[in-house]
Amino acid sequence: MAGGVLTLTTDFGLSDPFAGVMKGVILGIAPDVRIVDLTHEIPPQNILAGALALEAACRYFPPGTIHLAVVDPGVGSDRAPVAIQTERAYFVGPDNGLFTLVLPPDSAYRAVRLTNPDYHLHPVSATFHGRDLFAPVAAHLARGVALEAFGEPHPNLVRLSMPQPIPVGSSLQLHILHADHFGNLITDLTRDAYLAWLGAGAEEGVCLSVGGAEGVRLLRTYAEAQPGELFACFGSAGRLEIAARNASGARHTGLTPGAYVTLQRD
């Protein structure tokens, strides 16, 4: 692999130079790589939000893409810096659960801890591993350096303990995981899990109880809702979202990540 595509996902924001500095390091090593900014607006230190962003995006990049992600509240601690190779892509960043939703469910990946100083910038800052460890390793991957060159095997990656929908009688209790830029509330219910819960039952009559609102409709598109109406639909990433048309579902409900909502049949 030489050149190729490299994505960046961070919680650095755009008002500080950190993301740009990482690009400078990458381009100094691999000037032919195509860098795609996935997002730099992950809420600070929110590992789950970073994991959700990677889940929503990585499948749409070509095989061999390198995904460099830095949401790293444990920077400078004993958490491992890692590079990972799956069947389809590479991932570089902290081993703190950030890659939970893009890893295969079994052990169909290879991972190394980034211990080889030949591929680091020096001195290595205790507070900016994005610049000094992750960016140079990702750039050298883009130049074709083999995964094994960066360090020793690191097979047991950290995975987030993800909430799952809880059956309560004939209903499902869902968890709010994240509120996106539009105020849509992302839940832990995937489309596959919804279809399994629905079984042979009809989709008509399925609704949600959201905070104090009962009978919140499950719709196919935003356009089916009335202006300002609170509703739910499956978003493009395949998870059920609670939204308000032309408004913020988070503001409409007052709910925040960690809250519960209930999916039920009439």
Which pLDDT does position 68 carry in this prediction? 98
User: Pick from 27, 56, 60: which is nearest to 39 by CA?
Assistant: 56
- pLDDT band, very low/low/confident/very high, at 108 (cuts 50, 70, 90): confident
Which pLDDT does position 181 carry in this prediction? 92
Domain 166-265 has CATH 2.40.30.90: yes
Domain 5-150 has CATH 3.20.20.390: no
pLDDT digits 0-9 by tens, 135-188 = 999 999 999 999 999 999 998 999 999 999 999 988 999 999 999 999 999 999
Would you put residue 97 in left (φ > 0), alpha (ψ -120 to 50) or beta?
left
Helices 135-142, 18-29: crossing angle, 10 deg rounding = 30
Cβ neighbours of 85 (radius 10 Å): 18
Residues 51/100, Cβ–Cβ less than 8 Å: yes
Comparison of pLDDT for 199 and 5, the residue scoring more: 5
Which pLDDT does position 201 carry in this prediction? 65
| Percent of the chain scoring above 90 in pLDDT | 89
CA atoms lying within 13 Å on the CB side of residue 245: 15
Residues of the chain with CATH 2.40.30.90: 166-265
User: Does residue 2 have a pLDDT over 60?
Assistant: no
Judge residue 146's burial from the number of C-beta atoms within 10 Å of its C-beta, 0-12 exposed, 13-18 middle, 19 or more buried.
exposed
Residues 96/47, Cβ–Cβ less than 8 Å: yes
Residues 256/250, Cβ–Cβ less than 8 Å: yes
For 183, the 3-state DSSP assignment is coil
Contacts of 121 (CB under 8 A, 6+ apart): 25, 131, 132, 133, 135, 136
Torsion of CA 106, 50, 87, 138, to 10 degrees: -130
User: Pick from 114, 113, 86: which is nearest to 102 by CA?
Assistant: 86
Residues of the chain with CATH 3.40.50.10790: 5-150
Which pLDDT does position 170 carry in this prediction? 87
Give the β-pairing of 230-234 and 213-218: parallel
Torsion of CA 212, 215, 216, 217, to 10 degrees: 180
